[in-house]
Amino acid sequence: MADIAAVRPASRMSFGGWPQLALWGCLALALIIAPQVFSSSAAVSLLSQLGTLVIFCLSYNMLLGEGGMYSFGHAAYSGLGAYFAIHAMNMAAHGKFYIPVWLIPLVGGIAGMVFGILFGYLTTRKAGTAFAMITLGVVELVHASSEMFPGFFGGEGGVETNRNYGSGFFGMTFGPQIRVYYLIVAWLLLSAIAMYALTRTPLGRIMNAVRDNAERAQFVGYDPKTVRFFILVLSAFFAGISGGLQAINMELITSESVSSLRSGDAMIFTFIGGAQAFFGPIIGVLIGGFLSFKLSDYTQAWQLYLGIFFILIVMYAPTGVSGILLSNWRVIRAGLFGRVAWRWSAVVCAGAMIALAGAVLIELSYGFVFGSEKGAVVNYVRALDKNIQGVVWGAAIVVLVGGIFLLRRLLPPFKDAWNDVSSRAHLMKSGDRA
């Protein structure tokens, strides 16, 4: 299990103390005022979607970050939770039993947990790469059986519902999107606090122990398989809640929600945001959501950008975006940023050159192959003169090569300086404590 420990250093990265509380306050405040700032109906439905995704990725990070378990099948729990939730809604609407809409996510959560117990029993016997492959098998099993039971999974068209039934929450029905958004926010804050609290319990600590060194944890007397099983069941519960909210939000669930594709999204978003920090997945969802929901209006290559970004993070910043932010924050707080500011900006500039030129080249190639539909950059370039178009291609290549050359020159000295500064910052921090 040494490889898991290598991916995630043992020390917890968190702000600690009052910044932690402030962070939670900011999160709650941001969630509450967001629809006032972005008030168009498209924006509110996008925010609702991001909200369910945040719960999904936070629950995924219980496995990845806290337990060191790389699951490729997390959508099995959220998807099945969503299906059970949507059937519960339809039954409640037909008066078969009574359950208010705002409690529906709990149905999803319990369904997710039940399947977590069922599948978790199989998958958590293994760790590491074998666990990853078996979870992939499980989600494929669920996805393939969606064709076998069209009554439950709704076949090609999926299962539809209407969230506007019953008397609502103290007389407030959930017809308008904005109310659904606040319902999602309430469940999001509740689940996020519960998941965060869990990391502070003894069970949470044992999860970390099993992640860092399963053998030692076993010597101390904790069976790694049992611990992994508990993490998975709890994580499946929260995944089910996100599925239930998705059912309320979309009013339609198709078999795509139990696919390996959806599971892959959770993994990519969480890893981009950073599995180290509790807030990492939230940042990951913001970035991934921006790329997949917003950028897809302007370019066809958004999946390529997402893939490249993911690979760069895996290769050069395994702590994710939140890890980069945190290490910068530490250096700034220690008052040492001034020493590297010049090199830091040079490296960022070189990186920006590569990113910009690379994006222009990718956009032009996509436009060249697929035509200019949905290509903002391509349309802009097409409007230019033929000769200038050639100049754009040439300039992009020159800037790209120049940027790579610069980065190769600048990176090694920057790395040395940065490591020096951040280890000093670390020393100063531990000095505070002593």
Are the beta carbons of 78 and 246 closer than 8 angstroms? yes
Asked if 7 interacts with other proteins (CB under 8 A), we say yes
Output the smallest distance, CB 135 to other proteins, in A.
Answer: 10
Q: Is there binding between residue 147 and other proteins (CB under 8 A)? A: yes
State the amino acid at position 409 in one-letter form.
R
For residue 215, state whether it binds other proteins (rule: CB under 8 A): no
CB 366 within 8 A of CB 299: yes
Residue 10 binds other proteins (CB under 8 A): no
Q: Which is nearer to other proteins, 28 or 324 (CB)?
A: 324
Q: By CB under 8 A, which span of 148-156, 240-248, 278-286, 335-343 interacts with other proteins?
A: 148-156
Pairwise CA distance, residues 405 & 386, whole Å = 29
**Residue from 314, 346, 355, 361 in contact with other proteins (CB under 8 A):** 314
407 is an interface residue for other proteins by CB under 8 A: no
37 part of the interface to other proteins, by CB under 8 A: no
Size of the site for other proteins (CB under 8 A): 49
Segment lying near other proteins (by CB under 8 A), choices 4-12, 174-182, 186-194, 338-346: 4-12
- 23, 46, 126, 166: residue in contact with other proteins (rule CB under 8 A): 126
* Shortest separation between residue 67's beta carbon and other proteins, angstroms: 12
Residue of 26, 33, 91, 149 interacting with other proteins (CB under 8 A): 149
168 Cβ contact partners less than 8 Å away, ≥ 6 residues apart: 100, 101, 102, 174
Question: Binding to other proteins by residue 128, rule CB under 8 A?
Answer: yes
- Give the residue with the Cβ less far from other proteins, 68 or 79: 68
Footprint on residues 54-113 left by other proteins (CB under 8 A): 68, 70
Alpha carbon of residue 221 to chain centroid = 33
Span near other proteins by CB under 8 A; candidates 1-9, 169-177, 289-297, 327-335: 1-9
Q: Please, are residues 69 and 210 in contact by the beta-carbon 8 Å criterion?
A: no
Burial 70-90 (b: 16+ CB within 10 A, else e): bbbbbbbbbbbbbbbbbbbbb
Is 258:146 a contact under the CB 8 Å cutoff? yes
Return the residue of 103, 141, 388, 397 that touches other proteins, per CB under 8 A.
141
Cα–chain-centroid distance for residue 235?
A: 14
The CA distances from residue 87 to 92, 97, 112, 257, 326, in Å, are 8, 12, 14, 15, 43
Q: Is 359 in the site for other proteins (CB under 8 A)?
A: no
Determine the interface stretch with other proteins among 143-151, 171-179, 223-231, 425-433 (rule: CB under 8 A). Answer: 143-151
| Using rule CB under 8 A, residue 148 touches other proteins | yes
Q: What is the C-alpha separation between 257 and 28, in angstroms, rounded? A: 28
Q: Please say whether the beta carbons of 14 and 20 come within 8 A.
A: yes
Name the residue nearer to other proteins (CB basis): 314 or 417.
314
What length is written for the chain?
Answer: 434
From candidates 82, 267, 340, 360, binder to other proteins by CB under 8 A = 267
Among 24, 46, 93, 140, binds other proteins (CB under 8 A): 140
Q: Of 291-310, which residues contact other proteins (CB under 8 A)?
A: 301, 303-304, 306-308, 310
The total of other beta-carbon atoms located within 10 Å of residue 130's CB is 11
Residue numbers at the binding site for other proteins (CB under 8 A): 2-4, 6-7, 68, 70, 122, 125-130, 132-134, 136-138, 140-141, 144-145, 147-149, 151, 260, 264, 267-268, 271, 301, 303-304, 306-308, 310-311, 314-316, 318, 365-366, 369-370
